[in-house]
Chain A
């Protein structure tokens, strides 16, 4: 473990950039868990699905993965809406969300992951694009573009989502449905439809996040499991539904992970995110900018 300022700066910057990516990954769950109170533990699986679809588009058609995933967002939206409908009818209506709803998503996680294994095998897959490979050198910084580009697009996507939620009627209806369903009904807005749309959007973000993931690192089906802890740690730390909070928390986690990995070795990395989560739950469940 050689401590050098160079290494430190690069680790921190790397952490910030990865954090930007983590923010995109978590934004969907901020929506579904933070705002709608749906514990979609299968979200990482949908991200991996997005990665694989981007991979297929990239490998067969040579399309840029980010572009491909944007095109596929409507598909994911429909998938999300469908899943919510099943979830609502089977669990929310009956008031059994806690145990059975969790089990439902857990089952979906496995179904998605194993289907991908059966179809694609367990080999690592990666995509090719012009920005994967070169790095940007700036003073002592060494920033791989394959991390910079997804980070920037992530932040754009997260900002777009935030604007949508705070400025548009639909977005504000989504924020409202978390707080007062009756009031929405009285305004002739069907809360179930709003939640369905919101969940659809949540899954749609997974498509894009999946493209980011496979640009940053090679992907195989079980990679999603590492992200469960990260996503929920960031979501809780970021204040359950606050997107700005999510970004800050994501970057914090990214930095801590990066520093740990650089100076202590990568085998401790999983413990970092999950340890973060436990700490947050124990100390400040309301998060940094909490509700």
Chain B
């Protein structure tokens, strides 16, 4: 299936979901749905570096928060200097660029480290970034920042519905990008790095360059997911925005769903995200993380290939390479793997 077709299908699904949600006419669906879709984007973004390349990023929160805080900075500019009021897609672009650049920088500094050290370094970087933001009074520092969300936006109406729609489009874009990578030469390169970086180098794969591409794309997508967040939540606080909670979710969802393809993070985010929303409402929000922690540990022990892996085993198909099972699309339409 070529990418444009894939995109059309998913845009169609999104339109359907949006229409149904409007029909149900309960704003809670939009509020909860936004969070779930945000995690689809975050999980998919994380997986590009974590699942495809095998480099675990503990600093997802930092990229997410950078996107959010660049929106805050621009918002302050708008209110202080009566600046041009930027529409959200543009804010997302800016957030994406900022986080992408930071992703590149982080990669440049840390990608020479082997596995575990890289993971710890990403955590360290996230905390350093958090400390910098907390000490930057322009965006509110540790006191936090208030964003006033507009009530309405034509032609959709309720602003929260608009945010929901935007996040859904981002989620679709994220899975489309992930899938495009999988089917390309880049995807093969990523898989070779994941499996054996030394052998990949010896085979001619420019490992550092590819890893930098992965961190940049991953960071940029996370930044884009974070950019609308201040408008969603109204009050931004560094401790929670930079919190480890985002890190654990963006790691748990792909691991639970399955790391080898774009399907995994989607399934993981939809399931786990919905579960968390239900738990928050019925029990308490602290239980959320308990659930995530437990599921993460359980899945990582008994189902290393995630839900996708379980499905494949159940249907007795050999879980062959998911990346690379499909051939490079461009030249060979219609050939069955």
Contact = CB atoms under 8 A, between A and B. Distances in A.
A and B touch in the complex (CB under 8 A): yes
Interface of A: 33, 39, 41, 86, 90, 94, 96, 98-100, 102-104, 106-111, 113-115, 117-118, 225, 228-229, 232-233, 236, 267-268, 270-271, 274-275, 277-278, 281-282, 285
Contact of B304 (A39, A94, A232): A94
A281 B123 contact: no
B222 to A, nearest CB: 18
A33 B116 CA distance: 10
A99 B292 CA distance: 17
A50 to B, nearest CB: 19
Contacts of B251: 103, 106
A25 B70 CA distance: 37
A102 B121 contact: no
- Max chain A Cβ within 10 angstroms of own Cβ: one of B58, B123, B124, B127: B124
| 3 nearest A-B residue pairs (beta carbon) | A110-B293, A271-B131, A107-B296
Contacts of A285: 113, 117
Nearest to B297: A107
Given A98-B115, A108-B297, A270-B130, A281 B292 contact: no
B304 A100 contact: yes
Contacts of A278: 109-110, 121, 124-125, 128
Nearest to B245: A110
Interface string B113-149: 1011101110111011011101100000010000000
Given A229-B124, A278-B125, A111 B54 contact: no
20 contacts: A39-B116, A100-B255, A100-B300, A102-B116, A104-B297, A104-B300, A110-B289, A111-B290, A111-B293, A111-B294, A111-B297, A114-B293, A118-B286, A229-B124, A229-B127, A233-B124, A271-B131, A274-B128, A277-B121, A278-B124
- Max chain A Cβ within 10 angstroms of own Cβ: one of B130, B142, B244: B244
Interface string B18-42: 0000000000000000000000000
Interface string B242-265: 001001100110010001000000
A228 B120 CA distance: 9
Contacts of B121: 277-278, 281
Interface bracket on B: 35 or more
A115 B290 contact: yes
Given A107-B300, A225-B244, A285-B113, 12 more contacts: A86-B301, A99-B56, A103-B251, A104-B296, A106-B296, A107-B297, A232-B120, A267-B131, A274-B131, A278-B124, A278-B125, A281-B117
Given A228-B123, A267-B134, A278-B125, A99 B117 contact: no
A114 B54 contact: no
B301 A104 contact: yes
A281 B112 CA distance: 10
B128 A271 contact: yes
B128 A96 contact: no
B90 interface: no
Contacts of B116: 33, 39, 98, 102
A96 B194 CA distance: 11
B56 A114 contact: no
Contact of B286 (A86, A90, A117, A236): A117
Contact of A99 (B50, B125, B131, B135): B50
Contacts of A277: 120-121, 124
A118 B289 CA distance: 11
Contact of B290 (A99, A118, A225): A118
A281 B287 contact: no
A99 B254 CA distance: 12
A115 B291 CA distance: 11
Given A110-B289, A114-B287, A98 B54 contact: yes
Nearest to A37: B116
A168 to B, nearest CB: 28
A115 B110 CA distance: 33
A271 B56 CA distance: 21
A109 B120 CA distance: 14
Nearest to A89: B301
A166 to B, nearest CB: 26
